[in-house]
Every structure is written in C-alpha cells, then in structure tokens.
C-alpha cells in the first residue's frame, strides 16, 4: 500500500540536502535534510512492523533484513562502480586513500571512519567522494538494532499479553522503547557537543544522531500504514483535506527556513536545532498521512512519485558527481549537471537494475526486463567496472600532494621553532637601552600564515630573502595576532611583518585585524597578503577580510597590500582540480605566491615604518 503525499516528504529532504551541498554558504542548514530522511525511515519501518504483526501476530527478523539489504546495498554498490571512472576527469589527489573510503562505505562504517580520521562534513581540503555515506552507516546500524528490538518485543507481546491484545502490547512497548532511545540519543548529542569546536564526532555518531529515527518510530506506532490506533481515527474524522494540507505546509515552511538559518558550527544546532527539524519532519509526515485518507480520488503527480522513487539513489550519486563536476565547471552549472546525471543514473538503477538483481521483473519505457535478458550485459559491465575499481584503488595515492606539502612544511616549521627559540634567547641577553628595550628591530621579514603559506613554505623560504616563516593550518586572525605578539615580546619580530591570514576568517575578523594593526609596535612595516578562495562570494568573511585590509592600507601608510586575491583570481589554472584555496604544491602556484609577496615587500620598502605614539 503506497501512501500518497509521502513523496513530498522525501522530496523535501532531498531538496534540503542538495541545496546544502550545492550552495553551502547560502543554505547553511540544509544538512537537516538527512534528519528528514531519518525521521521518515523510522516512521515507515515501524509502521510496516506494526502492520506485519497485526497480520501475522509475528515479526520475521530475517525477512526484514533481507528487504533492507535489497533496498540499500545494490544501489550503493552500483553507484560506487559507476562513479569511479569519472575520477579520471579530475586531479589524482581526489582519489587519495579511496580504497579505505570505499571499504568504509560498503561496510557501512563511514561515520566512524570519518571520526577516526578527523574528517569534517563541512570543510576538507580534498573532500572524500563517499563521505555522504556516513548517513547510510547510521541508518544501517538503526535497522540492525531496531530489528532485533522489534523481534524481541514481538516475542514478549505474544507470550505475555493476557487482558489486552498482543497488538496493543506490541505497539505500547515499541513506543516506550523508541521514546527512551530518542531521549537518550538526543541527550548524548546535546551533552557531547559541549566544549567542541568541531562538531563532526557528535554529528556522525550512530549513538548521538539516531534520535530522528526513534521520533519517527513513535509516530509510526501512532499512525501506522494500514492499522491505526483509535486516537488517530478520531483525528482523521475531525479534519479535512485543507487542514491536512495546511499541517504539511506549516511544517514544510519552517524546515526550509531552518535550512537558511541553522549552522553546522553552532552548538544550538546540536542542542535543539536538529530535534526541531525531526519534529517538523514528523509533523509533515503526519499531515501527509491524513491527507492521504482525505483525498481518495486524487492521485499524486507522476513527477512527485518519480522523484520519491529515485531519491535514495540520487542521494548516493549527487555528492561524488558534484565534487567531480564542480572542479570542471562553474558551481551553478556543476549543480545542474550533477542533478540531471544523478536522476538519469538513479532511474536506471531503481527501475531496471535493482529489480532484476532482486530476482523480479523490471518495467521501464513500456518494456519488461528480466534477469535472463540482462544478465550478460550486466555481468560484463559489472566486471569491467570492478576491474576499474581495483585499478583506481591500486593507483590511488595514500597522501595527496597538498597533504605532502603541509607535512613537509610542518617539519621545516618544527625545525625553525628551534631557531626561533635560539633567537629569542639571544634577544633576551642583548644590550638594552635606558628604557629597557632591545636596541633596534631585527632586519628581515617575519611571515605569519595559514595552511596556504604552510603548503608553500619550502619554496617561499628560499625565495623571500632573510625571512622567517610561522605557518599553521586553520589559523585565524586572532591566532596570528598571538604569534605576532609573542615574537614582538621576544624581540624577534622582524622589520617587515607579512600577515597571510583570512581564508579561515571568523565573524570577528574586523575586530581581530584592527587589533593586530593597533598593537604592532612602532618601527615595523605591515604587509597584508589578501586571502583567496575560488568559491567565495561577496558575503564570505574571507572576501570581506580582503576588503578591510585594502581599506586599512589606504588609511595607514605603514601598511602595504600584497594582493594574492587579485593575482590568484587572474591565474585560475593553478587551482584546477583543487579545493580552490590551496594550489596543492604546484610549482606555478609556489612561484606566483612568492612573486606576489616579494612585490608587496618591494612596495613596502619605499613606505615609512609605523610611527611611535
């Protein structure tokens, strides 16, 4: 029995996820689309469990697992095999460690793989092609555990029900256990998020992120598919189609609004935001269930049922395809191409391949297909794609060129810290003036940067004369300020101070940048290396940071701009196939970065130093 209007719930979840991945800076909360899917899955699975128990007075665990296997596993295998040949279109760095990613995806452990490897759902230099399968892992863990719980409850209900029916016992126990697990899961997320800067561990974990499933489970017990509790029947009798449609609308609109206002890095998201999304999803499901009962003579639009049918496979395809296409074409075009190709591949998978793999007849394009008809073409293509999978995995680098550059830069960074400590000791015993200050400011250049600088520090150190470099990944302006002040207090901050920060600009970038300018000691010349992000828009903090730095250079004559933002934008080739921020150790990028910095230092040479107060 297919419930009409449930398609709109699935489509809502899909829209939220796609817009989040395609336009992450504008639709910052679209990740709640996963919570919509989770809630719907919990509802549907539990409602079907109730129907099965009502019909047979039993729940067959292995039959349940078999149905889940054929619905989830074949599409996943197919998507992995189909996507990998397309990786030849982009930089080889994007298949770094791909074997481990595939193993995690196919074993439904991607969520814990990402936690173990310190993966982030939002910010990775080289995004994992199958990071989105973390949600399948959580879903599969839910099915395994909830199936066992339902099996045990079914046995208890049959054995110990006396004064009330076994169905009532089954429903009551399912609802009670689901409620307890929903509360427990949410509390572990809410408490576990306290003190975190990166929320990925509580986001990915099956323990902390399973509460949407159990919220859906409670709803599934209440409404069911074919069998309902008396309270639901009373509600159905009191509402009509417009009211049911209104319930859907008043839950849909806040879900879309949350997609705009929620943020992955906000603790509010984990201490109430996602629970609210799950409750709204449940309300929308409830409204759809009511609307089904009150529209017996109205059919769902064909486009809606089609998109609902292929939504799972579209989810599987869209992320790796988007990663590939977004590094081949502008973002909007990549989003369009990704959506079209995902829908086509998903339709072939859902309507033809999945049924015949399960031993059923497939019906598509007015034709009927059977395994006997398709077995040889399917087996040959599968064999070719499997061989390709092995070739991609075997040739995949274990460390990307960017990671290698950062690793080498980190080694030099550690070595230089020894030299910096040595210089600080010498400065401490150097002759002092009457006012206690060290006589003179050390000549040369102090470069303070983030991961972009760290990735090119070997080349930079050899091509920027008399320079010292202190660079670190994920460094923000407030951290750069601390480095500058520590060097200044140790009297090792050199005459020219180059600040290469801004890509990781936080909301307080203006306050921190102004603070750095104000607290720089007299006698120094300040050079801002403007940040660059190929995907940034005018609303991004990194873009605003560059604008502020240019304004400060006009206001203070001791500040110079080394315009990396402008130079990098004029040379897009050095970012081809990268994340659009780092040039992955490419020589052309190293050369350009050093040239821009040296040009800034050349211009600063003819400017005055910061005057005394």
Q: Residues 486-503: pLDDT tens digits? A: 999 888 899 999 999 988
Dig out the tokens for 71 from the structure: 């619905």
Q: What is the mean pLDDT of residues 185-189?
A: 97
Give the domain-ending residue among 371, 395, 419: 395
User: Which segments within 313-463 are labelled E, that is strand?
Assistant: 362-364, 367-369, 445-449
Q: Based on the domain organization, do 389 and 415 belong to the same domain?
A: no
pTM of the predicted model as reported, rounded to 2 decimal places:
0.81
Residue 184, pLDDT score: 97
Measured between alpha carbons, how far is 610 from 421 in angstroms, rounded to an integer?
26
Q: Based on the domain organization, do 368 and 319 belong to the same domain?
A: yes
Asked if 142 and 212 touch (Cβ cutoff 8 Å), the reply is: no
Q: Based on the domain organization, do 15 and 157 belong to the same domain?
A: yes
Say if 588 falls within a structural domain. Answer: yes
Residue 177 sits in which domain range?
Answer: 6-395
Residue 222, pLDDT score: 87
Q: Based on the domain organization, do 360 and 217 belong to the same domain?
A: yes
Q: Based on the domain organization, do 445 and 389 belong to the same domain?
A: no
Domain harbouring 510, CATH code: 3.40.50.1110
Q: Based on the domain organization, do 445 and 557 belong to the same domain?
A: yes
Residue 355 has pLDDT above 90, yes or no: yes
Asked if 100 and 182 touch (Cβ cutoff 8 Å), the reply is: no
Q: What percent of the chain has pLDDT over 90?
A: 68
Mean pLDDT score of the chain: 89
Query: CB-based burial of residue 442 (10 Å sphere; 0-12 exposed, 13-18 middle, 19+ buried)?
Result: middle
Q: Based on the domain organization, do 517 and 442 belong to the same domain?
A: yes
Say if 611 falls within a structural domain. Answer: no
Give the domain-ending residue among 332, 362, 395: 395
Say if 612 falls within a structural domain. Answer: no
- At 237, the pLDDT band (50, 70, 90 cuts) reads confident
Q: Based on the domain organization, do 365 and 494 belong to the same domain?
A: no
The DSSP element (H or E) to which 467 belongs, if any, is: strand 467-471
Residue 429 has pLDDT above 60, yes or no: no
pLDDT digits (tens, 9 = 90+) for 577-597: 677 888 866 889 999 999 999
Say if 446 falls within a structural domain. Answer: yes
Q: What is the mean pLDDT of residues 471-494?
A: 90
- At 408, the pLDDT band (50, 70, 90 cuts) reads low
Q: Which of 115-124, 325-334, 370-379, 427-436 has the lowest mean pLDDT?
A: 427-436
Residue 540, pLDDT score: 83
- Compute CA 508 distance to the chain's CA centroid, rounded to the nearest angstrom: 23
- At 329, the pLDDT band (50, 70, 90 cuts) reads confident
Q: Based on the domain organization, do 378 and 445 belong to the same domain?
A: no
Say if 352 falls within a structural domain. Answer: yes
- At 311, the pLDDT band (50, 70, 90 cuts) reads very high
Q: Which of 155-164, 251-260, 283-292, 549-558 has the lowest mean pLDDT?
A: 155-164
Residue 252, pLDDT score: 96
pLDDT digits (tens, 9 = 90+) for 79-136: 999 999 999 988 787 888 899 999 999 999 999 999 988 765 544 556 789 999 999 9
Residue 7, pLDDT score: 96
pLDDT digits (tens, 9 = 90+) for 16-29: 999 999 998 789 99
pLDDT digits (tens, 9 = 90+) for 539-556: 888 899 999 999 999 999
Strands 445-449 and 367-369, by their bridges, are: unpaired
Q: CA 595, 596, 597, 601 torsion: positive or negative? A: positive
Residue 437, pLDDT score: 40
Q: CA 311, 312, 314, 320 torsion: positive or negative? A: positive
Give the domain-ending residue among 356, 377, 395: 395
Residue 287 has pLDDT above 50, yes or no: yes
Phi, psi of 293 (to 5 degrees): -70, -25
Q: Which of 88-92, 291-295, 398-402 has the lowest mean pLDDT?
A: 398-402
Residue 265, pLDDT score: 85
Residue 436 has pLDDT above 50, yes or no: no
Say if 1 falls within a structural domain. Answer: no
- At 612, the pLDDT band (50, 70, 90 cuts) reads confident
Say if 613 falls within a structural domain. Answer: no
Residue 57 has pLDDT above 70, yes or no: yes
Measured between alpha carbons, how far is 193 from 266 in angstroms, rounded to an integer?
10
Residue 414 has pLDDT above 90, yes or no: no
Say if 610 falls within a structural domain. Answer: no
Q: Based on the domain organization, do 370 and 447 belong to the same domain?
A: no
Measured between alpha carbons, how far is 16 from 28 in angstroms, rounded to an integer?
10
Residue 406, pLDDT score: 60
The residue with greater pLDDT, 318 or 117, is 318
Q: How many domains does the chain have?
A: 2
Q: Which of 8-22, 62-76, 242-256, 535-549 has the lowest mean pLDDT?
A: 535-549
Q: Based on the domain organization, do 114 and 85 belong to the same domain?
A: yes
Q: Based on the domain organization, do 370 and 471 belong to the same domain?
A: no
């Amino acid at each position: 029995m297919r419930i009409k209007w449930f398609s709109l719930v699935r489509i809502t979840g899909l829209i939220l996820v796609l817009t989040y991945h395609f336009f992450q800076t504008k639709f910052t909360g679209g990740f709640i689309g996963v919570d919509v899917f989770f809630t719907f899955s919990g509802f549907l699975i539990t409602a079907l469990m109730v129907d099965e128990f009502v019909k047979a007075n039993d729940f067959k665990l292995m039959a349940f697992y078999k149905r889940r296997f054929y619905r989830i596993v074949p599409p996943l295998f197919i998507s992995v095999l189909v996507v990998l040949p397309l990786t030849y279109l982009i930089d080889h760095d994007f298949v770094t460690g791909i074997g481990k990613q595939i193993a995690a995806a196919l074993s439904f452990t991607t969520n814990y793989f990402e936690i173990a490897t310190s993966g982030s759902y939002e910010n990775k230099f080289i995004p994992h092609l199958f990071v989105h399968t973390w949600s399948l892992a959580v879903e599969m863990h839910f099915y395994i555990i909830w199936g066992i719980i339902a099996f045990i409850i079914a046995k208890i209900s049959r054995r110990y029900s006396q004064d009330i029916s076994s169905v009532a016992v089954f429903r009551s126990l399912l609802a009670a256990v689901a409620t307890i697990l929903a509360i427990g899961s949410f509390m572990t997320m809410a408490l576990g998020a306290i003190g975190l800067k990166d929320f990925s561990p509580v986001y990915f974990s099956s323990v902390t992120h399973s509460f949407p499933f159990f919220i859906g489970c409670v709803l599934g017990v209440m409404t069911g598919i074919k069998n309902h509790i008396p309270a639901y029947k009373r509600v159905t009798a009191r509402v009509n189609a417009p009211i049911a449609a209104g319930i859907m609308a008043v839950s849909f609109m806040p879900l879309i609004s949350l997609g705009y206002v929620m943020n992955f890095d906000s603790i509010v998201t984990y201490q109430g935001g996602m629970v609210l999304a799950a409750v709204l999803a449940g309300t929308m499901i409830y409204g759809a269930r009511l609307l089904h009962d009150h529209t017996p003579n109205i059919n769902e639009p064909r486009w809606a049922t089609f998109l609902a049918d292929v939504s799972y496979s579209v989810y599987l395809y869209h992320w790796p395809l988007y990663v590939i296409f977004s590094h081949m074409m502008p973002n909007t075009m990549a989003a369009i191409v990704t959506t079209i190709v995902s829908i086509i591949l998903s339709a072939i998978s859902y309507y033809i391949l999945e049924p015949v793999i399960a031993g059923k007849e497939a019906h598509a394009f007015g034709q009927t297909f059977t395994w006997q008809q398709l077995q040889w073409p399917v087996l040959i293509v599968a064999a070719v794609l499997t061989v390709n999978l092995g070739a991609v995995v075997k040739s995949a680098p274990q460390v990307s060129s960017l990671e290698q550059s950062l690793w080498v830069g980190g080694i030099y960074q550690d070595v230089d810290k020894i030299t910096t400590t040595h210089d600080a000791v010498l400065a401490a015993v150097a002759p002092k003036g009457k006012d206690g200050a060290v006589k003179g400011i050390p000549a040369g250049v102090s470069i303070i940067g983030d991961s972009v600088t760290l990735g090119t520090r070997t080349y930079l150190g050899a091509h920027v004369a008399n320079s010292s470099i202190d660079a670190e990944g994920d460094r923000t302006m407030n951290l750069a300020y601390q480095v500058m002040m520590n060097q200044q207090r140790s009297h090792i901050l050199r005459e020219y101070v180059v600040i290469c920060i801004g890509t990781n600009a936080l909301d307080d970038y203006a306050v921190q940048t102004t603070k750095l300018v104000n607290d720089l000691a007299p006698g120094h010349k300040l050079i801002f290396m403007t940040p660059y992000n190929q995907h940034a828009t005018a609303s991004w903090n990194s873009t605003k940071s560059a604008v502020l730095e240019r304004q400060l250079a006009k206001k203070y004559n001791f500040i110079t701009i080394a315009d990396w933002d402008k130079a990098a934008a004029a040379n897009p080739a050095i970012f081809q196939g990268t994340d659009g921020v780092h040039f992955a150790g490419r020589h052309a990028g190293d050369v350009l970065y050093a040239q821009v910095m040296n040009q800034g230092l050349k211009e600063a040479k003819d400017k005055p130093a910061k005057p005394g107060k």
